[in-house]
Structure 1
Amino acid sequence: MHVLLAASAFNSLTQRVHAELRDHGHHVAVELALSGDSLADAVRRHGPDLVLAPMLKTAVPREVWSAHTCLIVHPGPVGDRGPSSLDWAITQDATRWGVTVLQAGEEMDAGDVWASVDCPLPPVGKSDAYRGEIADAALAAVLLAVDRFASGTYVPQPQRSGHARPYLRQEHRRIDWAHDTTESVVRALRAADSQPGVLDELLGGQWYLHGGHPEDRLRGRPGALLATRAGAVCRATADGAVWIPELRARRVPGEPAPVKLPAALALGDRLPPLPEIPAPPYADPPVRTWADIGYREEGGAGFLSFSFPGGAMSTEQCRRLLAAYRTACSRPTSVLVLGGGRDFFSNGIHLGVIEAAADPAAESWANINAMDDLVEAVLTTTDRLVVAALGGNAAAGGAMLALAADEVWCRAGVVLNPHYRLMGLYGSEYWTYTLPRRVGTGVAERLTTEALPLSADAARRLGLTDRTIACGPQAFAAETARLAARLAASPATQTAIARKKDRRGREEAVRPLAAYREAELAQMRETFFDPRAPYHALRRAFVRKEPPDRTPPHLARAVPGRRTAPLPARRPVVITGPAQHDRATGPKSC
């Protein structure tokens, strides 16, 4: 079928629906619901068999839903209605939730039900759950609803009851630091992550607080700042404390939208002298606290975990992760697992920190070199096998960080965006070496120029990844540990390590890694330090959430499904130079 996705943004769920519908053989196009654009005109242009809205903040016009079947993906169980469904669920401490696919009509969220799937709701941030359990349930419901529509025989079921919840406003999210417990504060922060945040007063300013993690050991006067750790601040509650990783200043009318930043960086000179308290070492039972990098060993394998908000990795975060990686490599293990968390693996350089820097070009340059240093360390590790374990999405330089590993394991449901074009960048992180090495130069060229998301299954069929793990987000770490321990215990692992070392030596003799880096960075430097380069405007629009003025052409174009034309399997290639990349065309969209 020809399916048109109507969405307020090409967000993570819309990307996953786009990728998996293509995997199931459908032709898929996207139209963004933008101010001044007519969805009715877009539908007439496309003439789709079905209109599907994975994430739509506005009502579908009557002239569209009265003429076409329009299915809405609502992140709530049957009968739940309103724009803050998931926010209310977390606020009220629900442990199970669901997703409903319903037909658009006169009343929002009240249409006939085409499919409904329930799911667990773990104690994590809203955005984490949305990309995890909610997205899994949404895809199951979407695929069921699409199959039912395609059959032509299914009759959707009317909703017999329902409750419309109001929009969850800031006055309902307000934290009373003098009286609220750690549990209630964390719940409020999780329900607002990553948007809209919790509006609060701190050190004479108004800030939106983003992210919240309980702290068991630190105590202080409720509301007071107690410590810092890796850019986060610890704030006392009525009975304990919480770690807050990010802040965003309240917008001043007439000025650009503020950027979400690591909390200590956002506060800047306002921040009083506070102790920098490192995370405690891995303990059993673990202490409730927050750390963005951790290491443990199990079954002969080492596990270097990291979790950075939004998957963005600043210069400082890259350097700290590199130091932790080098320490992990000093341990007597034969397998090192990189990642393994349930949310984002990595999305590459930190565009927010870059945008807020006094010299964004210089910070861009420092950040990409720090990313390259990390990727180089992974590529040159020859005394053990390195596994990149992706429990969540990866994009741009983060996807290339994963490809530096010997094996890439993905949770089913992960979305990969192995390209840089939409940010106006050529890219680095040794992608001109690692991407063609896995998929061949032709497919590498297609992936980096099409700039479309890939499902975990599509990535595996391409050879971009090696293993797809079918499990829920909460089970991914344990399943990864089981597989890594088995790999470490296998007699074949030492042979694989020797073979890897030999191959690295032979490829270095053909073309040194330094040559790939030099060629890539020459292109990146030219872009970073050219004030007219599109990268600067695209970066600004991205971090300040400025909507595009039209649907990007590469999304509006109907993309054929892949089921009837499978992606080519991996084939061996001889790497003799960087893959060709069309720089002349530049970025087509953001």
Structure 2
Amino acid sequence: MKILLISTAFSGLTQRFYTELTDAGYAVSVELHLGNDAQLLEGVQLFQPNLILCPFLTRRLSATIYQHYPCLIVHPGIKGDRGPSSLDWAIQQGEAEWGVTLMEAAEEMDSGAIWASKTFPLRAAGKSSVFNREVTQTAVECLWEALTYFDAAGFQAEPLDYSKPGIKGQLRAQMKQGDRKIDWKTAKTTDILRRIRAADGSPGVLDDIFGQPFYLFNAHPETVLRGKAGDIIAATDQAICRATVDGAVWIGHLKPKLADHNDIKLPAVQALKDCWPKPKPGLQAWRDKPIKTIAIDYHAPGRQLPCQEVWYELKGEAAYLYFAFHNGAMSTGQCRLLLSVYQHVATLPVKAIVLMGGEDIWSNGIHLNQIEAAQDPAEESWQNINAMNDLIAQIINTLDKVTVAAVCGNAGAGGAILAIAPDKVLAREGVVFNPHYKNMGELYGSEYWTYLLPKRVGQAPATDITEQRLPISARKAWHMGLVDKVLDKQHSIFNAQVKHLVDSYIGNPLELAKLLNDKANTRRIDEIIKPLAAYRKFELTQMYANFFTDTAYHTARQCFVHKKPRTETPANLAKHRLNVAIKPASAGGMAHFVWKDSYALGDEKIDREHRDFFELAEKLLSATHKTTLLETLSDLQRHVQEHFAAEERLMHGTGFHLLKSHCQEHALMREQLEAMTGRIADDHWQAADLQTFIGHWAHHIQHADMAFNSHWKEMNVYCL
């Protein structure tokens, strides 16, 4: 089955759909909707998809497309909700529950028949955070529900009917700045927070500070400080605190409204540096209450302020280091701050240092906005990458403690490499990794990736990852060896599991001593073979050329920071536009359904039988005569009787918790096999039936069998 993703941008949700579908064996390609309908239609016709999914659209889809292809739109709203500002209204109005609806494309926006709809409790957080977490996960659940209906005979989507009691949504207008406006003289803290959070990410809330227009982002409640409503009453090194009628709010980031639109979102204090009021003379200075400067003691445990981006906690004999940088970007100053706190934590009597990153975005590497705003972007790029390198070198050379990366949010570029610097890498299910740099104007990348990435996955896969520039799911990262464990998708459960695993790493003195001894020996041998300094020098030589002699990186960075629209879909995403004929494939097509080492359990008999099935599947797909088909199906029937029985015995013996449902799938596949044999014998079959049949088997291998694969490795590899 061929699925085309049409999206305004290759955003986090689109990447999640991409990884979910490619991991499941579907033939997936991407076409960005850039406002050129003819170009978009050309892409659709080139790929000829069985299904079009639109995870993130800000433009209408042409009727020419949805009238000829099944098209499902992801809408971040409950049933019946319509309009482009759905999530904005829900957050600003304080809805307790919200949802995601997957519907057919239609002439009237968001009015198509409904395929799936699910709800979630609406957390008090910014729009970007809610979208990255609840909306994305709920959309994925809707996706898989809808795919179960796609081939189901008799399925009918639910028409949008406002007379039904379950339809609670409504048509909402696009939210404008007038709807978002804050009256600081009357608005309470809760209302102000909702307004800023509803506009977080984009477009921000337009406001006036020191007589200049700014867009507000990244707001947090203050619990102690008070002042005259509307006044800025305090500031840290990054954020400002503004009084309300019943409290105060911290504002972390601002973006000036400029006539030329070359505005850049920056930390609030930095954005205000040119308009900060100068001290007034005489009596006026006495009457005006000065803005309080608050210095954060980053070496003290705990989060002292809600706007604080770096802090650590001590739990037992482990230190948990958080760095919740806005949008995951790490400036030169932020890297140096994090290094300073890490070095302090490393002096404490703890046995483990756990890098927690940020919950929404773990890290995205160097800070492109800060670089773009710098007087000399090339020099700032150089300082920033060296500061990242200093941090990672410190982690690599921490030999007396276990280091752990607990990756709860997505990680990209240098942030993804930072995540694999520690000894152990734990990832939340649903996290997406993008460990590559070339999309940013052919940037070579540093952060010791030429040492860390091949060490984890091997040289050839490391080359593929960085050249193909495609997102990687947490589960695929685990199969590749990029991460050590994939934990629960729920953030609270993930955090509990991380603590449990960290305690297990350091709880046995003998095992801890062995782990640290092995780490020290490996580091010593690696240093003899090739010093870390050599990796750094080589990488920085390439980066120096990127920063100081080439223009591609600077052009790409400017386009990224100022959100300049693309003119075409990148070639690595639009596979259908490559100058290579694309062979039609189904979810189980052999173009994607091939044996991989990651499928191996380690049980020789089971692995051999799985390989045999792959060979039989290939023989089935290539067969053209009825006799050959029936002979191959007969071989397959004999094969599955023995294989299913052996596999079920193995599952029972290891206490596999999904044994019952797995056996039910086996029974269903036996029935499908018999039915397929009957249809071929009676000449009541088509080639497409065979592809669908193999597709069902592929889904079982790549989901149910891989779930047992994970269980087997937990029982027989990681627990040893």
Normalising by structure 2, we get a TM-score of 0.76
- Aligned equivalents of 1:443 and 1:236: distance in 2? 53
Match of 1:538 among 556, 562, 567: 556
Structure 2 partner of 1:200:
207
Is contact 2:298–2:310 with CA below 8 Å preserved after alignment?
no
Structure 2 partner of 1:311:
328
Alignment partner of 2:497: what SS? Answer: helix
- Aligned equivalents of 1:206 and 1:80: distance in 2? 32
Structure 2 partner of 1:418:
435
Structure 1 residue 184 corresponds to structure 2 residue 191:
yes
CA separation of 1:241 and 1:475: change in aligned 2, threshold 3 A: farther
Task: Report the residue type matching 2:269 in the other structure.
Answer: A
- Aligned equivalents of 1:300 and 1:64: distance in 2? 59
In structure 1, the gaps of 5 or more residues are 572-590
- Which structure 2 residues correspond to residues 108-123 of structure 1 after superposition, within 5 A? 108-123=109-124
Root-mean-square deviation (CA, aligned residues, Å) is 2.2
Deviates more, 1:448-457 or 1:280-289: 280-289
Structure 1 partner of 2:282:
none
Structure 1 residue 267 corresponds to structure 2 residue 272:
yes
CA separation of 1:552 and 1:197: change in aligned 2, threshold 3 A: same
Deviates more, 1:450-459 or 1:153-162: 153-162
In structure 2, the gaps of 5 or more residues are 163-168, 279-290, 577-581, 601-720
Deviates more, 1:377-386 or 1:473-482: 473-482
Structure 1 residue 500 corresponds to structure 2 residue 519:
yes
Q: Deviations over 1:434-457 (max 9, x none)?
A: 000000000000000000011111
How far apart are residue 368 of structure 1 and its match?
0.4
How far apart are residue 150 of structure 1 and its match?
3.6
Is contact 1:223–1:237 with CA below 8 Å preserved after alignment?
yes
- Aligned equivalents of 1:211 and 1:227: distance in 2? 16
Structure 2 partner of 1:24:
24
Structure 1 partner of 2:59:
58
Structure 2 partner of 1:521:
540
Structure 1 partner of 2:449:
431
CA separation of 1:479 and 1:176: change in aligned 2, threshold 3 A: farther
How far apart are residue 570 of structure 1 and its match?
12
- Aligned equivalents of 1:428 and 1:340: distance in 2? 19
CA separation of 1:57 and 1:296: change in aligned 2, threshold 3 A: same
Alignment partner of 1:245: what SS? Answer: strand
Structure 1 residue 214 corresponds to structure 2 residue 243:
no
Task: Report the residue type matching 1:270 in the other structure.
Answer: C
Task: Report the residue type matching 1:446 in the other structure.
Answer: D
- Aligned equivalents of 2:35 and 2:107: distance in 1? 21
How far apart are residue 257 of structure 1 and its match?
3.0
Q: Deviations over 1:261-286 (max 9, x none)?
A: 11111112212474431347899997
- Aligned equivalents of 1:24 and 1:264: distance in 2? 46
Structure 2 partner of 1:90:
91
- Aligned equivalents of 1:418 and 1:480: distance in 2? 22
Is contact 2:360–2:408 with CA below 8 Å preserved after alignment?
yes
- Aligned equivalents of 1:153 and 1:6: distance in 2? 27
Is contact 1:335–1:384 with CA below 8 Å preserved after alignment?
yes
- Aligned equivalents of 1:479 and 1:282: distance in 2? 26
Alignment partner of 2:404: what SS? Answer: strand
Alignment partner of 2:446: what SS? Answer: coil
Task: Report the residue type matching 2:268 in the other structure.
Answer: A
Q: Deviations over 1:351-394 (max 9, x none)?
A: 00101111000000000000000111111100111111111010
Structure 2 partner of 1:335:
352
Alignment partner of 2:272: what SS? Answer: helix
Task: Report the residue type matching 1:3 in the other structure.
Answer: I
Structure 1 residue 380 corresponds to structure 2 residue 397:
yes
Q: Deviations over 1:211-263 (max 9, x none)?
A: 101111222221111222231111111122111111111131xx243111111
Count of residue correspondences = 568
Is contact 2:302–2:311 with CA below 8 Å preserved after alignment?
no
Q: Deviations over 1:154-212 (max 9, x none)?
A: 22122222511111111111111122222211111111111110000011210111110
Structure 1 partner of 2:73:
72
Task: Report the residue type matching 1:393 in the other structure.
Answer: N
Structure 1 residue 8 corresponds to structure 2 residue 15:
no
CA separation of 1:146 and 1:570: change in aligned 2, threshold 3 A: closer
Is contact 2:299–2:341 with CA below 8 Å preserved after alignment?
no
- Aligned equivalents of 2:358 and 2:501: distance in 1? 15
- Aligned equivalents of 1:357 and 1:545: distance in 2? 18
Task: Report the residue type matching 2:48 in the other structure.
Answer: G
More helix by share: 2
Match of 1:467 among 451, 472, 485: 485
Alignment partner of 2:100: what SS? Answer: strand
CA separation of 1:44 and 1:517: change in aligned 2, threshold 3 A: same
Structure 1 partner of 2:237:
230
- Aligned equivalents of 1:152 and 1:525: distance in 2? 59
- Aligned equivalents of 1:137 and 1:262: distance in 2? 31
- Aligned equivalents of 1:258 and 1:21: distance in 2? 37
Structure 1 residue 301 corresponds to structure 2 residue 318:
yes
CA separation of 1:172 and 1:346: change in aligned 2, threshold 3 A: same
Structure 2 partner of 1:586:
none
How far apart are residue 475 of structure 1 and its match?
4.1
Deviates more, 1:221-230 or 1:240-249: 221-230
- Aligned equivalents of 1:540 and 1:481: distance in 2? 41
Deviates more, 1:273-282 or 1:3-12: 273-282
Alignment partner of 2:572: what SS? Answer: helix
Normalising by structure 1, we get a TM-score of 0.92
CA separation of 1:131 and 1:566: change in aligned 2, threshold 3 A: farther
Q: Deviations over 1:453-483 (max 9, x none)?
A: 1111111111111111113234433432333
Is contact 1:462–1:567 with CA below 8 Å preserved after alignment?
no
Structure 1 residue 454 corresponds to structure 2 residue 459:
no
Structure 2 partner of 1:443:
461
Structure with higher Rg: it is 2
Structure 2 partner of 1:257:
262
Task: Report the residue type matching 1:426 in the other structure.
Answer: Y
Match of 1:550 among 535, 546, 568: 568
Structure 2 partner of 1:155:
156
- Aligned equivalents of 2:197 and 2:382: distance in 1? 33
- Aligned equivalents of 2:314 and 2:20: distance in 1? 35
Task: Report the residue type matching 2:556 in the other structure.
Answer: L
CA separation of 1:451 and 1:152: change in aligned 2, threshold 3 A: farther
- Aligned equivalents of 1:350 and 1:102: distance in 2? 37
- Aligned equivalents of 2:479 and 2:268: distance in 1? 41
Structure 2 partner of 1:175:
182
Is contact 1:216–1:287 with CA below 8 Å preserved after alignment?
no
Is contact 2:451–2:535 with CA below 8 Å preserved after alignment?
yes
- Aligned equivalents of 1:518 and 1:549: distance in 2? 36
CA separation of 1:135 and 1:360: change in aligned 2, threshold 3 A: same
Task: Report the residue type matching 2:504 in the other structure.
Answer: R
Structure 1 residue 358 corresponds to structure 2 residue 375:
yes
- Aligned equivalents of 1:494 and 1:129: distance in 2? 42
CA separation of 1:52 and 1:570: change in aligned 2, threshold 3 A: closer
- Aligned equivalents of 2:348 and 2:304: distance in 1? 23
Match of 1:393 among 406, 410, 419: 410
How far apart are residue 484 of structure 1 and its match?
2.1
CA separation of 1:95 and 1:522: change in aligned 2, threshold 3 A: same
- Aligned equivalents of 1:282 and 1:214: distance in 2? 23
Alignment partner of 1:496: what SS? Answer: helix
Alignment partner of 1:13: what SS? Answer: helix
Is contact 2:37–2:62 with CA below 8 Å preserved after alignment?
no
- Aligned equivalents of 2:26 and 2:383: distance in 1? 42
